[in-house]
Amino acid sequence: MTFVALRRSAHAAPRDLRAFLPTSRAEMDARGWDALDILIVCGDAYVDHPAFGASLIGRFLEGRGYRVGMVAQPDWQRPDDVARLGRPRLFVGVTAGNLDSMLNKLTAQKKVRSEDQYSPGGRPGRRPNRASIVYANLCRQAFPGVPVVLGGIEASLRRIAHYDYWSDEVRRSVLLDAKADLLVFGMGERPIWEIARRLASGEPVATLRDVRGTAVPLRKGAWEALPRSRFTTDGRAVFLPSYEEVRADAGAFSRMSRALQLEQNPGNARPLLQPHGAEAVYFNPPAEPLATADMDALYDLPFTRRPHFAYAEPIPAYETVKHSIVTMRGCFGGCSFCSITEHEGRIIQSRSAESVLREVRALRRMDDFAGTLSDVGGPTANMYAMRCQSDEIERACRRLSCVHPGICENLGTDHGPLLELLARVRAEPGVKRAYIASGIRYDLAERSPEFVRVLARHHTGGQLSVAPEHSNDDVLAKMKKPGVASYERFAASFACASEDAGKDQHLVPYFISGHPGSTLADMVDLACWLKARGLRPRQVQDFIPTPMAMATSMYHTGLDPFTGEPVYSAKTLADKRLQKALLFYWDPAHHDEAREALVRAGRRELIGAGPQCLVPPASGKGALPRRMQRGPATRPGSAPRGARATRPRRA
């Protein structure tokens, strides 16, 4: 399958009513449309940029010849707002946006965030809780009989029975709670095109039961009569433990999590089925990944790369990515706390150098481009063009990570294509600087001293973000991250490369507190490790159990889903705060909680004025002056990691 892209200027006039997907009747009239084929309802502000999922899918469908409209952040109190463009002919696509709506609203401490990066002016309150469910309900009211198709990361990661951290309960598949007709999971171009084609040909939505990358609702008894699957040799689906079982039994939840992870490779995944009382959800195998030509065609689509002209206030997430370039999608790291693999897949899908350079030239024509590319990367920048060296082995593999517990011997780790791409980007007229702000997988970078040299010399603006996450190798194993020795080797090589380049540059390491497997004693050891190296982290993520992640399964069940071994997790908000406070041992605003943590861990010797101590005493000899004891607190974690960009930056 080859995608053919429409070509148009990347820089459209601000008030050109034909420049964006229509959001109003006036914009439809400007195109001469009396009705839409497809309406997309989205929880984010409408930014016509390929880093925003709803816009990417909308432009993709437009490029296939469909009339597509966009309703962004509608009033969810009544159906009138979603109906302002009229009844669509084929279906309504519903997405909560680039982040899960609950993650977007609440912190790890379950406090309401002060900012929404995907709304005008960063103002919160522009989308409802559990937006996929609310929007789907609005669309059913507004358009009776029109198929409703869920998509986006919220729907993708809540497609099975899942643990919801914010309500502290196991919830049903969002497909059933939203009463939608179909759910598209993962990156949706292939399935959404098949859905559109088949509906346009006259097929009723009830017959669309075999589209890869989709989940469908079934009535009780229907699964016994299912036709043979076209994706497996025996035609049998894998039956997951039912919603009722996983809600009542931690062991059943853990088995469900394991089974789901083993069926994520499009080359060998079997269909899945999960009963929910009188209903069930049938999951087709994941969609096949896009080829390079398909990726190129996506990014050749006529994006204006701007927010819709109706917005008077800036949209913070757009400001972060407007001069960035996505070179690839997917991640084979398989980190247990991360959702990239579950959503984008383990197979790396890369654009050609020519496609990337076309986008660089389009950026250069934008009036606010001053020569700096803020990021040239993706979920993990140095996985560009890396694949299994054997298609046959790749399609048969059920390994969850290509790099953990060690780098697979079948994985191609050549950084040559990336180095060539970066050299060509640097050579483009008008490009003064091209930074890599995406994640760097340092165990891969170790294999290419030349990449580290080029990274330090050309693509680091004084600081480079990396994610060692912890110092304890047992905790890192639960995260499916390389041991801390790998990070230390990379840090040393990057320091040498920076010195050779004549640059004063530093790593900015990210850490997670409260991750399953990490005890209070482990966090004390991490704090001591940080102090011994003179590190004062400002980027600390208090672990948030997001739907469908393996770490979330550990947090909820207390079990490792692959070994069955018990796993400790800090469960109360107070315990989570104590773990996080230890990483801010240097900040007076956190000293009270850090002292409490040290006392609980039996490490009182680390409270004092000595060079080996972590925090000073509250009073007496060595105590800080009273005016310093409640200094201004840092604000790490005030927004979810990645909320200031439209893709996660961890690797």
d(CA 142, CA 57) in angstroms, rounded, equals 22
d(CA 99, CA 79) in angstroms, rounded, equals 23
Q: Are 157 and 342 in contact (CB under 8 A)?
A: yes
Strand 463-469 to 506-513 pairing:
parallel
Residue carrying structure tokens 């059943």:
252
Enumerate the H helices of 109-229 as residue ranges. 131-142, 152-157, 174-178, 189-200
Phi, psi dihedral angles at 275 (to 5 degrees)? -65, 145
Which regions in the chain score pLDDT beneath 50? 1-13, 228-229, 231-233, 633-651
- The pLDDT score that the predictor gives to residue 339 is 84
Residue 271 burial (C-beta neighbours within 10 Å; 0-12, 13-18, 19+): buried
Q: How many other C-beta atoms lie within 10 A of the C-beta of residue 547?
A: 24
Residue carrying structure tokens 């069930």:
280
Length of the chain: 651
- The pLDDT score that the predictor gives to residue 644 is 33
d(CA 482, CA 335) in angstroms, rounded, equals 10
Longest dimension (CA), the chain: 82
Phi, psi dihedral angles at 328 (to 5 degrees)? -160, 170
- The pLDDT score that the predictor gives to residue 634 is 47
Q: How many other C-beta atoms lie within 10 A of the C-beta of residue 423?
A: 12
- The pLDDT score that the predictor gives to residue 234 is 53
d(CA 293, CA 186) in angstroms, rounded, equals 19
Question: Which of these, 385, 387, 458, 381, lies nearest to 424 by C-alpha position?
Answer: 458
Task: Give me the amino acid identity at 407.
Answer: I
Q: What are the counts of helices (DSSP H) followed by strands (DSSP E) for the chain?
A: 24, 22
- In order of start, what are the domains of the chain with their CATH numbers? 25-283 (3.40.50.280), 323-584 (3.80.30.20)
